[in-house]
Structure 1
Amino acid sequence: MANPLQFLQQVRSEAGKISWPSRREVLVTTGMVLAMAALTSAFFALVDWVIRTGVAAIIG
């Protein structure tokens, strides 16, 4: 087990290795996530409508 000073030095060393994404990368990936979420919600809304219509036709 390392002493607290060594631990903090190691944390600082590891933090220096972090590669942060650029602003453009963040915006592109955020847009992709939002687009996929919209497509997924539209797909499940369509599936829900089809099942609801089918069940109503069977029961109706």
Structure 2
Amino acid sequence: MAKTNPFEFIQQVRQETAKVTWPTRRETIITTIMVLIMVTLASLFFFIADQILGGVVSLLLDAGR
């Protein structure tokens, strides 16, 4: 593997960083809000599914007595 001196490495990192399209503040805020909404919806879905499955299992186990 070829070794690169630190100065060349830093130049390469700066060149690659210049190619990146950074999101605007508005895009970041909107994306963050969307992620929070999706996390909330997923947590509600799994909570409800867990409650339903827990109730079904309880019914099945109580029926065996």
Q: Same fold (TM over 0.5)?
A: yes
Query: Per-residue deviation at 1:5?
Result: 2.4
Q: Aligned ranges for residues 1-60 of structure 1 at < 5 Å?
A: 1-60=3-62
Question: Structure 2: how far apart are the matches of 1:37 and 1:24?
Answer: 20
Question: Structure 2: how far apart are the matches of 1:34 and 1:52?
Answer: 26
Number of residues of Structure 1 aligned to a counterpart in Structure 2: 60
CA RMSD in angstroms comes to 1.2
The percentage of aligned residue pairs carrying the same residue is 43
For structure 2, the 5+ residue unaligned runs are none
TM-score w.r.t. length of structure 1: 0.84
TM-score w.r.t. length of structure 2: 0.79
Query: Per-residue deviation at 1:4?
Result: 2.7
Query: Per-residue deviation at 1:22?
Result: 0.5
For structure 1, the 5+ residue unaligned runs are none
